[in-house]
């Protein structure tokens, strides 16, 4: 039934989200230990860029609103880093 499919999909989505986040957090902590916190924080600038590139590679259309959102993300990251 549709309910069974929905719960199954939600379960797999939660597993992917939790596992992906856990793996990313482990690697981020290892990166911080091996380098310094400033270098590790620079990865926050790379994530949105990679996301946009992947989107373009799989055929998503990028519109002005997406660019505006990207600029908001970067300005937020910049303001947090600069204090």
Rounded Cα gap, residues 14 and 8, in angstroms: 10
The whole-number pLDDT of residue 46 equals: 81
pLDDT the model gives residue 72: 92
Two structure tokens written together for 68: 């505006």
Report, as ranges of residue numbers, the positions in the chain whose pLDDT lies below 70.
Answer: none
How confident is the model at residue 70, as a pLDDT?
Answer: 86
Cα dihedral 79, 34, 48, 9 sign: negative
Q: Of 43, 22, 19, 21, which Cα lies nearest the Cα of 31?
A: 43
């Amino acid at each position: 039934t549709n309910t069974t499919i929905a719960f199954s999909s939600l379960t797999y989505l939660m597993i992917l989200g939790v596992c992906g986040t856990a793996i990313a957090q482990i690697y981020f902590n290892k990166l911080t230990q091996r380098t310094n916190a400033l270098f590790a924080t620079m990865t926050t600038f790379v994530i949105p860029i990679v996301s946009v590139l992947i989107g373009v590679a799989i055929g998503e259309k990028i519109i002005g609103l997406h660019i505006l959102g990207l600029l908001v993300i970067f300005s937020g990251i910049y303001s947090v880093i600069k204090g």
